[in-house]
């Protein structure tokens, strides 16, 4: 005779087995899909005009920083006043500070203004450093046509002067805008490339002019 108190509860066990079989499927559920992310960069500028005199300095362009909200890969646009927004599925391929510092490095190298122009990670000791930070790097949608707005602060540093004050040769803010053909990330990338080339030409001219005074 089976003791009812010790009799297995087959119905309860069967229910547990059914739930255990269904649980993995319920946890996994249908696979979610998300829209792909597209990345944009700055188009390399056409070969800039060469300087008539190549200076003997070795210049290293350091990796630039950026003010918020431009210190990330988000593509920022302004559709009215102080309002800022970002594109959901579009990004810069690198933060604007890095994009512009490498853009400026290429521009200075191609201009043949100095003995050598080094990128941020170069181990060769330079005679001068170029530091900078991005103030604005955005699309202004509230204008017609839309504008690529770029502002950058540049500091030229004497790498051989130990005095932290006297080693600062000059500091200057540069700003420009370029019209966009459309209110899209692709059109912004083209316009921002033109803006970057315009500022790079001004920066190259100023650095060359300042360093010409010490030779």
Q: What percentage of the chain reaches a pLDDT higher than 70?
A: 84
Check residue 61 and report its DSSP letter: E
Name the token pair of 133.
């930070």
CATH code reported for the domain at 38-212 = 3.40.50.10610
Name the token pair of 42.
């700055």
- What 3-state DSSP class applies to 144? coil
Domain definitions of the chain by residue range: 38-212
Mean pLDDT confidence for 15-42: 60
Q: β-strands 128-140, 65-66: how paired? A: parallel
**What is the DSSP track for 93-129?**
SS-HHHHHHHHHHHHHHHHT-EEEEE-TT--SPPSEE
Query: What integer pLDDT is reported at residue 46 of this predicted model?
Result: 79
Tell me the per-residue pLDDT of 58-112, one tens digit each, with 9 for 90 and over.
Answer: 999 999 999 999 999 999 999 987 899 999 999 999 999 999 999 999 999 999 9
Lowest mean pLDDT among 25-34, 59-68, 150-159: 25-34
Global pTM value? 0.82
Place of tokens 């500022």: 199
Distance of CA 130 to the CA centre of its chain: 17
pLDDT band at 26 (very low <50, low <70, confident <90, very high): very low
Distance CA 25, CA 58 (A): 63
Query: What integer pLDDT is reported at residue 14 of this predicted model?
Result: 39
Distance CA 132, CA 98 (A): 10
Of residues 207 and 121, more confidence is placed in 207
Query: What integer pLDDT is reported at residue 50 of this predicted model?
Result: 87
Strand partners, 74: 91
Distance of CA 20 to the CA centre of its chain: 49
| Mean pLDDT of the chain, nearest integer | 86
Tell me the per-residue pLDDT of 103-147, one tens digit each, with 9 for 90 and over.
Answer: 999 999 999 999 999 998 898 999 999 999 999 999 999 988 999
Q: What angle do CA 176, 181, 187 make, to 5 degrees?
A: 80
Q: Is the pLDDT of residue 187 over 80?
A: yes
Q: Which is nearest to 59 in space by CA: 94, 106, 99?
A: 106
């Amino acid at each position: 005779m089976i003791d009812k108190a010790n009799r297995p509860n087959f119905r309860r066990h069967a229910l547990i087995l059914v739930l255990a079989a269904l649980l993995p499927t319920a946890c996994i559920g249908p696979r979610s899909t998300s829209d792909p992310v597209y990345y944009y960069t700055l188009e390399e500028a056409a070969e800039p005009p060469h300087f008539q005199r190549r200076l003997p300095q070795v210049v290293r362009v350091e990796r630039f920083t950026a003010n918020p909200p431009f210190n990330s890969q988000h593509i920022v646009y302004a559709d009215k006043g102080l309002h800022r927004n970002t594109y959901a599925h579009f990004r810069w391929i690198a933060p604007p500070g890095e994009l512009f510092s490498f853009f400026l490095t290429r521009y200075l190298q191609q201009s043949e203004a100095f003995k050598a122009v080094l990128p941020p990670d170069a181990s060769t000791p330079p005679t001068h450093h170029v530091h900078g930070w991005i103030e604005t790097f955005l699309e202004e949608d509230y204008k017609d046509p839309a504008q690529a707005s770029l502002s950058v602060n540049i500091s030229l540093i004497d790498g051989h002067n130990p005095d932290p004050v006297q080693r600062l040769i000059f500091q200057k803010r540069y700003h420009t805008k370029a019209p966009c053909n459309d209110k899209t990330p692709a059109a912004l990338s083209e316009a921002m490339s033109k803006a970057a080339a315009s500022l790079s030409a001004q920066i190259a001219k100023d650095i060359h002019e300042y360093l010409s005074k010490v030779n």
